Each structure stands twice: as structure tokens, then as C-alpha cells.
Chains A and B, each alone.
Chain A
């Protein structure tokens, strides 16, 4: 039972991390109609900015700040230099251009930081683990902190979108782009702000994951694929859908990896069980996505 609760927490943690990625991706698509493949690169840039700032200053908090600012600034730069030219184009142009950005940003990062992974560790205050499950094992404090940050960001985004003037404009932009431009709102600035916001969230996700994983070139692409699965499941353009979708994907992926071997071992011998369950577990979220799309072709919460 304790193990099950621990796995639920693991699933939740993966879910909120995916939400940080998916929220930006879905906002950018919803408001700007842009498919941004380079979102994973912004995640990578966030992690590298954090690692570089930590090794220069020794403070993880400054690292987090550096990741937010670094990714947001890069987002602004990308939006102004590249993305602006793509709004009128079709999705294929956007995919090609943002794919090129992945290659450019990856090689630029390698050029600056080298081919070898950087070291980034958890701040001392968040290291170690606490017993949160009665009678069970301990759970890492840092993973709990990621869950808290994810929940706070979700709450913040909700307030931003539903309660502020900027949020009102974002919602207006989602429903009718031409109309809010006609009403005299500077749509170009709005686009830049939304893109920078999405970039900052991706950078934050990268910085948070950096101490858990390896900070290296190409770290963003596997997450990007998962984030796309999340927004397709949640409904493209919907932040609420991204939240629900991310948590579902996190839970299904984690629990699948945990429960499938147990199921399989009852049916076949242990070696074969490991192989079959590994194969099935890696397919599980895609199977789930297929089922969702079959039942609700526009995702769970169509925008």
C-alpha cells in the first residue's frame, strides 16, 4: 500500500512537470495558433542556464531565476526574429522553422557548454527524504517540492488567465484574433508576452528537472513528445486540459511501469514478463491517447 502511494506521488510529480511544459505549449498554440517544436530546446536552455548560474554563484535559487529569465529572454528573441514571420504561414512552415530552431539551439548549446553533461545538484535545504507514508518508505523532499511548485504555477496561471487584464486579452486572443486586433489591442506585444511566458515555464521545468536528471544537449526532445501527447489528450489550446492531461499521463506512465510487471509475472515467466511489460509500459500513454481521440477527437477539454 505504501508502495502504491509512493508510485501515485511519482506519477503526480511527473504529471506536474509535464504540465509546466504543456501549459506553455498549449497557450502558444491556443493564442497564437503556432506549433512550437522548439519548446523542448527552451527547456534545455533553462536547465543549462540554471546549471551555469549555480556553478558561478553557488546558489540554486539564483539558478532558478536565471533559468526563468534566460528562457524568457530567449523566447522574446525567437518570437521577434523567427516566429513573427510564421503567423500567416501554414503549420508546415511553422514545424519546419521551429524544427530548425531545435537544431540551431542544440548545436549552439554544445558550442558554448561542450558535449559532456553538466553537474547540477539539489540545494541542501531540499535534499534528503521524509517519511510521509505511515509504515512505508521515505519520499524525496525535492520531488515533493516539484509537486508544490507545479501546483502553485497551475494556480498562478488560473488567476492570471481568469482575473487579470492580460488574462482577458489572452482569452480574447484565443477566441478571435482578428477581433481583438481590431479593438486596438497590440496583438504583436501580446504574442511576444505569451511566447515569453511559455518559454519561461519550459525553462523553469528544465531547471527543476536538472538536479534529477542529466543536464545535456538533447534533453528536451523526449519531454517535448510527452508534452505534445499531453496537449492532444487535454485538448489543444486548453490550459485546464493541459493540467488534467499532464496528471493523467504522469499517473498512467508511472503506474503502468509499476503494475504491468506484476500483472505479467502472474502470466508468464519472469524474464519474458520483464520484456513484455517494458514494451507495453512504453506504449501505454500512446494507447491512452488513441482511446481518448477515438472517443473525443478534439481532446478532453476542447478549447
Chain B
């Protein structure tokens, strides 16, 4: 009799674990300073994902990292020790992700990256507790390099001088077959590009590929338009994302950029997401919001299968990636990075608002370059 009672108790415990006890998620993102627009999009996309699924038992602790690596590490520790969160996500930048992830995963806590995918964490330093829902940094640039072969023989390459920028240059050069007219790394604190534009002009390049996210992209787009240069521009989605376009002006119309997602991507989940996001926040979602929406849905999908308190079981549930992505087909590679399609988009104007539309698919079910180096 006593034995039966214990069995029932154990059974009940297992059942209740499976049907979702309250969860607490730590969301570290940039909500002050120049990167705050991206952080707002990530946060809003994530919250929309939870709201649409009626996940009222999921508590989200949002903290501002001010785009500083040391602050993000402090917040992560505070979230683990004081707030007792079950999982951490939210960081926008590669250098912050590189600072936080080893620290979080070491404490047997899962970290899910909603935006950057630095090559280090995809390859040799991959970790079973680290997931990336967005992309491996090189991916968009590989697609851009591949697509550039069509139209360009002599491209100029300009990227940020940081981990993300170095992945960008590596990814682009891996697929681009033409000649490089020049290569410049620019500082992340630089907002005037007159000296670089003069060099690009002098290089006689037939096209310019650049990676400058957020406000840096806006500054460059405007200065390039004023320079009188007419060579075609290309970039990753970050240089022409929904957070950059409205402030850049009409000069960026027709520019091609690569991404895993676009507001016009034709699937029911995405259509609902774009409409819901506009209704909720009164603006078009950016790629950051889309990735973050997927992050929320990935976590919710795993909660249906395992308790978030049981790291091993929850990790296995995450690996399945059993959720409907706004990007259509989505699965995890062995290194916990996405296998997904990559598209070329074009900047267009719809109802007076600058946005992107898909031009063509460049890669089908693209895997990242570093997966083989990952021994989990």
C-alpha cells in the first residue's frame, strides 16, 4: 500500500513537471545607448511570442546591459544567483555573448542566443548548454558572397573591427570568387566615414559590401548617398534592417541584402507574426524581433516536453526544435546552430514605408562552416 502511494506520488510529480510549472527567464539586452533600438525589438518580439501563446506562467526578468560586456556578465550572475532564473537569453552583440556564455553554461544553465552567432561558439568552443536560434555569424555573409559572384568582379569590403565583423569578412570571402578592390575594418565608435568613402571612390570597385548595424548603418547610408558615388551597395540584413531603414532615407531603395527572414516571407506563422507585431507596437518588426519571437516559441515548445528545471531533459527537448518558425523550415545542427534557408532581399517602399522584400533564395537548408569542429 505504501509502495503504491509512493508510485502515485512519483507519477504525479513527473506529470506536473511535464505540464509546465512556472518558469523564470532572464532576458539581458541593450535598452540604453545607441543599440537600444535593437534591444527594444528583441524584447518586444520575445514578449509577443509569450503573449500569443498565453504563457502567463512564464516570468521574464529584463535587464539592460548598456552594450557593455562587463555589465552583461554581472547581470547574468545576478540573475542566476538572486533571481534564480531557469534560462537566459536576449543578448544582441557577439562580444557580449562571448563574455556571458562560458560563464552561464559552466553553471549548468542553458543560454539561447536570439541574435549573434560568433564562430568561436559554433566551432571549437561549442557547449551543450548553448543554443543559437538566429544564425551563425558567417551565414548571411556567405550568402552575400555567393550572390555577389553574379554581378560583381571587384568588390570593396568594409566591416566592423570586432568579432562579428571578422566573422563577416571570413564568411563573405569564403564564397566570393571575384577580386577584392580593398578591405577596411572600421571602429565600432566611428560614425563619420568620409575617409573610407574617399578610399572606396579611389579603389574603382564595382560594388561595395558593408556590415554596419543600427545607427552606424544609418550614418553610412546617408553619407554614402551624399558622396555622389553610384556603385551598388550590398550588405547583411543588419545594415538594412527595419530599425535602420526609416532613418536612412530613400537612397537605399533597391539595395540587396541577405537574411534568413523577411517581413514578406510567405508562410502563415510569419504573416500572423508581422500583423500581430504591427498591431501591438505600431511598427514593422525587424529581423531581431523575428528571431526573438522564434526564441520564445522554441522555449515554449520545449516546456511542453520537459520541465525547465531539469536542464538535461529540457536541453533534449530544445534540440528537437519542435516549433513553427517564422522562417519556415528550421532545425538544429549538431552544434546547436540553425539549419535554415538564406535569402537575398531588396529594399522597397510599401505604403510609404521603407522595408524589405525577398528577391530569391540563395542557400537551401544551409549549415554553418564550423559545425564539424564542435565536439559536444
Q: A216-B215, A278-B186 are in contact. Are A10 and B36 (CB under 8 A)?
A: no
Size class of the A contact interface (CB-based, 8 Å): 35 or more
Contact A213 B191 (CB under 8 A): yes
Contact B189 A222 (CB under 8 A): yes
Binds B, one of A83-91, A136-144, A175-183: A136-144
Which residues of chain B are within 8 angstroms of A122 by Cβ–Cβ distance?
A: 226
Contact of B198 among A6, A106, A110, A218 (CB under 8 A): A6
Contact A219 B191 (CB under 8 A): yes
Which residues of chain A are within 8 angstroms of B185 by Cβ–Cβ distance?
A: 274-275, 278
Query: B219 at interface (Cβ–Cβ under 8 A)?
Result: yes
Contact B246 A258 (CB under 8 A): no
Query: B5 at interface (Cβ–Cβ under 8 A)?
Result: no
Which residues of chain A are within 8 angstroms of B243 by Cβ–Cβ distance?
A: 116-117
Q: A212-B219, A261-B184 are in contact. Are A121 and B249 (CB under 8 A)?
A: yes
Contact A115 B184 (CB under 8 A): no
Which residues of chain B are within 8 angstroms of A7 by Cβ–Cβ distance?
A: 195, 198
Contact of A137 among B182, B219, B228 (CB under 8 A): B228
Shortest CB–CB separation between residue A130 and chain B, in angstroms?
9
Which residues of chain B are within 8 angstroms of A216 by Cβ–Cβ distance?
A: 34, 37, 215, 218, 247
Which residues of chain A are within 8 angstroms of B186 by Cβ–Cβ distance?
A: 278
Which residues of chain A are within 8 angstroms of B202 by Cβ–Cβ distance?
A: 3, 137
Contact A117 B218 (CB under 8 A): yes
Closest residue on chain A to residue B196 by CB atoms? A257
Which residues of chain B are within 8 angstroms of A13 by Cβ–Cβ distance?
A: 194
Query: A59 at interface (Cβ–Cβ under 8 A)?
Result: no
Query: B253 at interface (Cβ–Cβ under 8 A)?
Result: no
Query: A211 at interface (Cβ–Cβ under 8 A)?
Result: yes
Closest residue on chain A to residue B159 by CB atoms? A274
Q: A116-B246, A117-B247, A261-B184 are in contact. Are A213 and B227 (CB under 8 A)?
A: no
Q: How many A-B residue pairs have CB under 8 A?
A: 135
Closest residue on chain B to residue A258 by CB atoms? B195
Which residues of chain A are within 8 angstroms of B246 by Cβ–Cβ distance?
A: 116, 119
Closest residue on chain A to residue B243 by CB atoms? A116
Contact A218 B34 (CB under 8 A): yes
Q: A6-B198, A215-B247, A270-B180 are in contact. Are A106 and B32 (CB under 8 A)?
A: yes
Which residues of chain B are within 8 angstroms of A270 by Cβ–Cβ distance?
A: 180, 183
Q: A116-B37, A117-B218, A218-B33 are in contact. Are A212 and B192 (CB under 8 A)?
A: yes
Query: A57 at interface (Cβ–Cβ under 8 A)?
Result: no
Query: B125 at interface (Cβ–Cβ under 8 A)?
Result: no
CA distance A11 to B247 in the complex (A): 26
Over the window 5-42 of chain A, the binary record of Cβ atoms lying under 8 Å from chain B Cβ atoms (1 yes, 0 no) is 01100110110000000000000000000000000000
Which residues of chain A are within 8 angstroms of B190 by Cβ–Cβ distance?
A: 222, 282
Query: A162 at interface (Cβ–Cβ under 8 A)?
Result: no
Which residues of chain A are within 8 angstroms of B31 by Cβ–Cβ distance?
A: 115
Query: A100 at interface (Cβ–Cβ under 8 A)?
Result: no
Contact A143 B194 (CB under 8 A): yes
Closest residue on chain A to residue B170 by CB atoms? A271
Query: B187 at interface (Cβ–Cβ under 8 A)?
Result: yes
Contact A10 B218 (CB under 8 A): no
CA distance A219 to B214 in the complex (A): 12
Contact A137 B201 (CB under 8 A): yes
Contact A217 B187 (CB under 8 A): no
Contact A213 B249 (CB under 8 A): no
CA distance A243 to B212 in the complex (A): 31
Contact of B247 among A118, A142, A217, A281 (CB under 8 A): A118
Which residues of chain B are within 8 angstroms of A214 by Cβ–Cβ distance?
A: 34, 191, 214-216, 218-219, 222, 247
Query: B223 at interface (Cβ–Cβ under 8 A)?
Result: yes
Contact B32 A217 (CB under 8 A): yes
Which residues of chain A are within 8 angstroms of B37 by Cβ–Cβ distance?
A: 115-117, 216
Closest residue on chain A to residue B166 by CB atoms? A275
CA distance A143 to B197 in the complex (A): 13
Which residues of chain B are within 8 angstroms of A127 by Cβ–Cβ distance?
A: 226
Contact A275 B161 (CB under 8 A): yes
Query: B58 at interface (Cβ–Cβ under 8 A)?
Result: no
Q: A140-B228, A214-B215 are in contact. Are A121 and B201 (CB under 8 A)?
A: no
Residue positions of A touching B, CB distance < 8 A: 3, 6-7, 10-11, 13-14, 106-107, 110, 115-119, 121-122, 127-129, 137-138, 140, 142-143, 211-219, 222, 254-255, 257-258, 261, 270-271, 274-275, 278-279, 281-282
Residue positions of B touching A, CB distance < 8 A: 31-34, 36-37, 39-40, 161, 169, 180, 182-187, 189-192, 194-196, 198-199, 201-202, 214-216, 218-219, 222-223, 226-228, 243, 246-249, 283
